[in-house]
Each structure stands twice: as structure tokens, then as C-alpha cells.
Amino acid sequence: MCICINCRHIHRCKTYEFIEQQHNNHKIKQILNYFIPINTIIIVYINKKHVNIYLDWDLKECSSFVEKPGNWLTFL
């Protein structure tokens, strides 16, 4: 699971937006000042089901992470 959901920076984070684009969940939003995190590690899981290949993108480590549980709920 992506650690971004409990991060204070989720609403402005450029890395989180990238991961959302990879999941095809990108919502068009006008953000004037993106937050660019440092030292991030993105893990890509490759899943094969029959002849189809699925990629699952998760952020596993981020030096800019600041915990704020439930912050992602304001996206809904």
C-alpha cells in the first residue's frame, strides 16, 4: 500500500500525482505550487493474469513524509 495516503503533502505532491497517473486515476487539478519530495522509492509490482500484465505502483519510502492520518479522505 502506498504510504502517501497518510502524508500531509498528498494534495500537492508531484510524486503522488505521478503514481495516480500510472493507476489511471488522474484527476485534472490546477495546482500552482507542487510539492516535490526527496529520496522517494517507488515499487512497481508486475502481476500476470492469463495473457494480461498489470502494473501496481506504490510509494514505499519518502524522506519528505510527514504523517497526517486520514488526510487522503478530503479527496473523496
Provide the residue range defining the domain that includes 49.
3-75
| Confidence category of residue 13, pLDDT binned at 50, 70, 90 | very high
- Cell 479527496 found at: 75
Check whether 76 has a pLDDT greater than 60. no
Decide if 58 contacts 47 (C-beta within 8 A). no
Q: What pLDDT was estimated at residue 44? A: 93
Domain count, the chain: 1
Check whether 11 has a pLDDT greater than 90. no
Q: Tens digits of per-residue pLDDT, 15-67? A: 988 888 888 766 666 667 889 999 999 999 999 988 999 899 999 999 999 99
Residue 47, beta-bridge partner list: 54
In three-state secondary structure terms, 13 is strand
Q: Half-sphere exposure of 71 toward its Cβ, with a 13 Å CA cutoff? A: 16
Cβ atoms within 10 Å of 8's Cβ, excluding its own: 14
